[in-house]
Structures are given as structure tokens and as C-alpha cells.
Chains A and B, each alone.
Chain A
């Protein structure tokens, strides 16, 4: 019921109900939220707490498939999206349950409703797919270039003043060629921009800098510099929702890693278990040391394979000891490799020290709150220090201190 950033949904079905594919299982009143729809037709088996990829228990609706995949005509298809009011487009996008499918799962209709004083000049499609191992966006760009370009055109329809650009890392020449071909066929209003392969190129602020040479001010949103960044799978969903009337019920998941027998991209119905996808990819060749949801740099390691695929699951990555042993920390040797690696110019080693001494003010004054948790510093660290984790702790520490300060302010206000 919580496949997105924002308020979780409340179930709108109960145990024993028969549901169709595409039917709403949960929804919420809150603006920052997105409905969850069934990926199969069948019977609701359970509504209750279940473990998800993060290891936390969350409210889930379990639907047992009848194998028929009977669809509910949830949304109306529109043969010409130009005839649909922009406001209506945004409403359909919400109804379809579209969220950022690159992994963050931020509700797309919220992104498409910036404050009126923000002029959107750029809509950037994120086809960077910069995490190592993952390949699902590449596959999608090859097979569904029309829908991606179409989805971007719909976004341009919502923001007529904006320029549409698709940013793709240049290690995907086939995807670039295919997108260029499609964009030209469809009138050439969309530009394809290949850029260098460089992690973390897919990070929103990095991609905006690459495309527009503008830096998003720290603490600000892309809309503040007139940009929206939308993942290519999200654009695909925007197209299918508005043009074909199909809500978000499935996604492409890269099932990869050195212990996966037959690594592949799988089009998986949402809610399918990680275990079933691993089995579809031939299972494990030997016991994995880690199974991750997402990529190796930012993905989360899972405690169990019996957790559902959600809208933001870009990959399942199973790694052996060879890639992911247990790393033992040693002293920092001040080699400054983390300083060169940090894409936003932080001093990870200094941040690490500040956090370990619980000096959160120092952490904040060094700019630690800007950390995007890309993992580059930890990756390069020869002393194997958990620098990214320190930054996470630091951010949490600063937030806790702020909350405390606010609470005491309110307390003194009462007196």
C-alpha cells in the first residue's frame, strides 16, 4: 500500500473480494500519494502486515491470481492526447498510479504540478541508467521508444514552454539510435542527448547539470531551476495511461548478478515475489552473499526473497562473496580519494569524523545535508570505511537536532 514517497494508501478492497487486473486496491486522500492497482485478476487472499524489501512490515493486499488476467477498463484511452486538457492529463496520471519508476517512486502527478511561479523550461527524460549491473531502462528504450517519446510529448503538452530532452549514457548506442529514429519520425520536437558514462549521472541534479549546465541550489528542487526530470519508464507509463488507458500494473526488472544462472530483464506484474523472479531467471548458481533491491551502489539489501516487487523496483541483484564480502573498516589514511570521488564536492572523510564524534553542527557546516548518498565515497575508500552510512547517520542526527530545537522553541513559546 506504500509503493511511493508520501502517504500510504488505505485498502479499498477486503478479504474474499474478486478483483480484476487494473482495479484499485488502495488509495489515499493525501495529495502526495498514488493509488495501487492490482496486477492480476483473482481473489483478495489477505489484507494485513507483510515484510517488504526494506525489511519493514507494511500493510499489503495479497491477491491470488486466477491466471485469466481479466482487465478492468480502469481508464479511458485517448487517441489524441492533444485534445485532453493538461489538468485532466495530470489527473489521469494520478489515477493510473504513476510514480517515479527509476527507484525513488515520487508521485508523478505531484512532480507535474509545480507551484505556478516556477516556469518549467526543461523536461529531461532520464535514460542514464547509471547504476552498474542494471539494464531494464536500456531494454525499455530499445523496445518501447515510441511510448517514451510519446510520454515526453504529453509532458510537453502539459508544459508547452518546455524543451524535451532525453539524456542517455553513451554506452547504449542502440537505444540512442532507436530514440533518435523515433523522435525524428514523430516530428523532431524531442532532442536526444547522449552523455558520458559516469556514475552517478542518473542522479537528478547531476543530469540537470549535464543537460542545462545549471546547478540546482542546495536544498532546492529541480523545478526551482525550471527543470523536471522524469525516468523513461515513468514516461512510458504516462503514454500508456493516457493513450491506451492502462494504469501501472507491471514493470521491467533487471534480475542480475554473478550468482544468477540466467540474468535477464523480466516484465513482472507488481506484487510478484522476488523469489518468483529469481526462479524465472534460472535461480542461484550458488548461495548469494547479498540480494539487493536496486543497484549495487544505492540498492537495499533484502532479508528475505519473499517480498513483493513494487513500482520502484528497478532490479534484483544477487552478488556472491567475491563482489560483496563483509568489509572490515580500518583507519582513514586521508588519501582523499573520497574527496575526488564526491560528485557534489563534499569532504566525506571530514563528514565521517564529525559524525563519529557526534558533532552534527560541524557536519552541517561542512555541507553534509547536501549528500545524495550515491555511495561513491564508500566505493573508492581503500580503508573500507562506511562513509555513506556516516552521512546518512549525520543527516538523521541533524534532523533530530532540528526537531528538538523546534520542540523546545514551541515549549518556550507556550510559557
Chain B
């Protein structure tokens, strides 16, 4: 006991939750949606998920090694980005395109801005947007059980099929419809999202405010498919629970989170109703991502004891 005891700044104890654990919980919460994708779209799902995760991880490792940074692979954020990117592409996408999207997401969107916590927009969504711009056909070819067909939102928009060909609500709920790998099964996504809210990893504010906004606006617009179909179609549930809630690219203040989510809902609805694409979740979140610093500044909460001091003057 002669050696000096270690001195440190208080507090001296910490919660068990770490960045890595948070990422692992989110990854775990995404597993049901992946299994649903595997069930409905077949084995290619596994290949695409593996390609995205491996390329994201490898890209991060190489980037950090050759830019002289300490590796942050152990926080699992690269794995999560890969997983989310894979969930946002169609099951028929060629693997090399998925790898391109992963490299773009990791290098340009994440590490050009300083790595974890520093990026302005969601890397997985930006990767998807880049793929959609470069290979629009490959990114919008939807197949289900080997047959290609339109997505529910395209039908609702009236650009493909007839409204009678809209899948049943039950099929929409379990995910038996065409779409991206991880976005179709509302059931699986709600289970995962519920887990994250229960574990207090995400708050209810963003998903609830986002989905309610889309529901209300679709009601006002009188969209053909009805509110439930509107909410369960496209990437809305995936986006609301797993993409818009991305810590880094969403506001830190409680009021800011609601404003952000309502903004996502409004833009999603506008794109769906009037935009060139049938689906607007990715772009709406990307657009709202860039407004986050301003929202944070607007919504700085009142400090305990502050109002009355003004009164006292």
C-alpha cells in the first residue's frame, strides 16, 4: 500500500452502457427484420448483408490504418452502418454495387467528417442515395418470390399497377411485399424498435412523431391506399425507428427531436405525394439531418432556475 493511489476526477463510477453495447443492441434489434427479409426474399439477403458489413468494416480499418488514427472497429458502428445499408437496398442488387455504397458511406460520409459522432448525415442513407443516383434501375427493381413487380407506394402513387393490385394489409404488416431487404416487415421492425425503446436506447419521440405526422398528412391528402398502408409501406417503419433515431445525426434536445421528426414526416409525405420518387423516407431524413445544428440551437432547454431570475431582474 505504499504506492500512490490513483487520483481521478469525480464521478468515479460509470454506467455499464458503452457505445459498443448500444451499437450491439441496435444490431440485435435489427435481426428480426433481417430474418423476415431472408424468409421473403431468399438467400441473396445473406450475401448482401455480409458484403455490406465486411466492406464497411474493412473500409474503416484500412482508412484508419492509413490515416494514422486509432481504430474504432470495436465500437461496432461500422457493422451497424453496413447492416443498415444492406437493409436499404433491393435483394437483387449486384454485390459489387453494395460494396461501392459501403465504401462511399464509410469514407466520404463518415470519415471525411471525422469518424464516429462527427458525420453530418446518416452514412447508410447517404450510401443508399448515392447508389440510387448511380444505378437507378438496379436500385428500383423489386422482386418477390422471383417475380418482379411494383412496390405498394408506386401503386398508391398511380405510376404502376392498379389500386386493386395493392397487397393486403396483412401482407404489408408481415412483410410479404416487394421492397428493400430490411424495410418490408413492419412486424419485425416494430419488435426491434420496441426493444430499443424498452432498453431506453432510443426515445419514443422521433419514431412516434415521424409516423404520426405521415399518417395525419396522408389522411389530409386522401391518399388512395389508406393510412395503414401508407404507414407500413416504403421504409417508413425502418426509417422512423432505426435511421431517423441515429444519435449522431438527430437533435440532442427533447423538443428538437420532435421538430426533427415532424420535419421528416412532412418531407416524406410531400415526396410521396408530389415528388418524382414514390418513396421519400431516405431523402427526408437526409434533408433533416443537415438542419440538426440549427434545431439544436433553437431548442436549448430552459435551465433549472433560469426563468425566475429574469423576473427578479
CB contacts between A and B, total, < 8 Å = 167
Please state if A334 and B117 are interface contacts (CB–CB under 8 Å).
yes
From known contacts A205-B304, A216-B305, infer whether A331 and B116 are also in contact, taking CB-CB under 8 Å.
yes
Please state if B12 and A290 are interface contacts (CB–CB under 8 Å).
yes
Say yes or no for A71: interface residue by CB 8 A criterion.
no
Please state if A291 and B13 are interface contacts (CB–CB under 8 Å).
no
Please state if B5 and A301 are interface contacts (CB–CB under 8 Å).
yes
Please state if A375 and B10 are interface contacts (CB–CB under 8 Å).
yes
Please state if A217 and B14 are interface contacts (CB–CB under 8 Å).
no
Select from chain B the residue with minimum beta-carbon distance to A386: B9
Contact with B305, one of A55, A215, A301, A303 (Cβ below 8 angstroms): A215
Contact with A304, one of B5, B250, B305 (Cβ below 8 angstroms): B5
Contact with B8, one of A216, A290, A334 (Cβ below 8 angstroms): A290
Closest chain-B Cβ to A315's Cβ sits at a distance in Å of 12
Please state if A217 and B312 are interface contacts (CB–CB under 8 Å).
yes
In chain A between 315 and 347, which residues have their CB closer than 8 angstroms to a CB of chain B? 317, 319, 323-324, 326-327, 330-337, 339-340, 343-347
Closest chain-B Cβ to A223's Cβ sits at a distance in Å of 13
Question: Which of A72-80, A228-236, A292-300 faces chain B?
Answer: A292-300
Closest chain-A Cβ to B86's Cβ sits at a distance in Å of 21
Contact with B247, one of A336, A347, A388 (Cβ below 8 angstroms): A336
Known: A301-B6, A305-B5, A330-B75. 15 other contacts (CB 8 A): A218-B303, A218-B304, A301-B5, A304-B5, A323-B12, A331-B116, A333-B77, A334-B248, A336-B247, A346-B303, A347-B301, A367-B303, A378-B11, A382-B17, A388-B11
Please state if B304 and A330 are interface contacts (CB–CB under 8 Å).
no
Q: Which chain B residues border A383 with CB–CB below 8 Å?
A: 18-19, 117
Q: Which chain B residues border A340 with CB–CB below 8 Å?
A: 203, 254
Closest chain-A Cβ to B220's Cβ sits at a distance in Å of 31
Say yes or no for A381: interface residue by CB 8 A criterion.
yes
Please state if B301 and A219 are interface contacts (CB–CB under 8 Å).
no
Say yes or no for A193: interface residue by CB 8 A criterion.
no
Contact with A333, one of B8, B247, B302, B305 (Cβ below 8 angstroms): B247
Closest chain-A Cβ to B110's Cβ sits at a distance in Å of 11
From known contacts A215-B308, A333-B247, infer whether A132 and B5 are also in contact, taking CB-CB under 8 Å.
no
Please state if B304 and A324 are interface contacts (CB–CB under 8 Å).
no
Q: Interface 1/0s, chain B 76-107, versus A by CB < 8 A?
A: 01000000000000000000000000000000
In chain B between 103 and 128, which residues have their CB closer than 8 angstroms to a CB of chain A? 114-118
Say yes or no for B306: interface residue by CB 8 A criterion.
yes
In chain A between 354 and 383, which residues have their CB closer than 8 angstroms to a CB of chain B? 366-367, 370, 373, 375-376, 378-383
- Chain B CB count within 10 A is highest, among A219, A317, A349, A382, for A382
A43 to B11 CA separation, bound complex (whole angstroms): 39
Say yes or no for B170: interface residue by CB 8 A criterion.
no
A291 to B1 CA separation, bound complex (whole angstroms): 12
Contact with B4, one of A132, A287, A304, A337 (Cβ below 8 angstroms): A304
Say yes or no for A302: interface residue by CB 8 A criterion.
yes
Q: Report, nearest first, the 5 A-B pairs whose CB atoms are least far apart.
A: A375-B11, A344-B304, A217-B309, A331-B117, A367-B303
Please state if A324 and B12 are interface contacts (CB–CB under 8 Å).
yes
From known contacts A305-B1, A383-B117, infer whether A297 and B13 are also in contact, taking CB-CB under 8 Å.
yes
From known contacts A55-B7, A301-B5, infer whether A217 and B305 are also in contact, taking CB-CB under 8 Å.
yes
From known contacts A343-B304, A345-B303, A347-B253, infer whether A292 and B4 are also in contact, taking CB-CB under 8 Å.
no
Say yes or no for A392: interface residue by CB 8 A criterion.
yes
A167 to B115 CA separation, bound complex (whole angstroms): 47
Say yes or no for B15: interface residue by CB 8 A criterion.
yes
From known contacts A301-B6, A375-B11, A382-B21, infer whether A333 and B301 are also in contact, taking CB-CB under 8 Å.
no
Closest chain-A Cβ to B227's Cβ sits at a distance in Å of 30
Say yes or no for A220: interface residue by CB 8 A criterion.
yes
Q: Which chain A residues border B309 with CB–CB below 8 Å?
A: 217-220
Closest chain-B Cβ to A91's Cβ sits at a distance in Å of 32
Say yes or no for B300: interface residue by CB 8 A criterion.
yes
Say yes or no for A288: interface residue by CB 8 A criterion.
yes
A217 to B1 CA separation, bound complex (whole angstroms): 46
Closest chain-A Cβ to B261's Cβ sits at a distance in Å of 14
Please state if A303 and B12 are interface contacts (CB–CB under 8 Å).
no
A288 to B8 CA separation, bound complex (whole angstroms): 13
In chain B between 281 and 307, which residues have their CB closer than 8 angstroms to a CB of chain A? 296, 300-307
A262 to B278 CA separation, bound complex (whole angstroms): 69
Please state if B1 and A303 are interface contacts (CB–CB under 8 Å).
no
Say yes or no for B64: interface residue by CB 8 A criterion.
no
Q: Interface 1/0s, chain B 237-277, versus A by CB < 8 A?
A: 00000000001101111100100000000000000000000
From known contacts A297-B11, A303-B5, infer whether A344 and B117 are also in contact, taking CB-CB under 8 Å.
no
Say yes or no for B140: interface residue by CB 8 A criterion.
no
Please state if A335 and B22 are interface contacts (CB–CB under 8 Å).
yes
Select from chain A the residue with minimum beta-carbon distance to B247: A335
Please state if B22 and A331 are interface contacts (CB–CB under 8 Å).
no
A23 to B14 CA separation, bound complex (whole angstroms): 43
Please state if A327 and B253 are interface contacts (CB–CB under 8 Å).
no
Closest chain-B Cβ to A300's Cβ sits at a distance in Å of 7
A346 to B15 CA separation, bound complex (whole angstroms): 20
A249 to B21 CA separation, bound complex (whole angstroms): 49
Select from chain B the residue with minimum beta-carbon distance to A381: B14
Please state if A319 and B253 are interface contacts (CB–CB under 8 Å).
no
- Chain B CB count within 10 A is highest, among A299, A305, A344, A392, for A344
A298 to B252 CA separation, bound complex (whole angstroms): 25
Say yes or no for B141: interface residue by CB 8 A criterion.
no
A376 to B77 CA separation, bound complex (whole angstroms): 25
From known contacts A290-B8, A384-B18, A388-B9, infer whether A331 and B303 are also in contact, taking CB-CB under 8 Å.
no
Please state if B305 and A389 are interface contacts (CB–CB under 8 Å).
no
Q: Which chain A residues border B118 with CB–CB below 8 Å?
A: 331
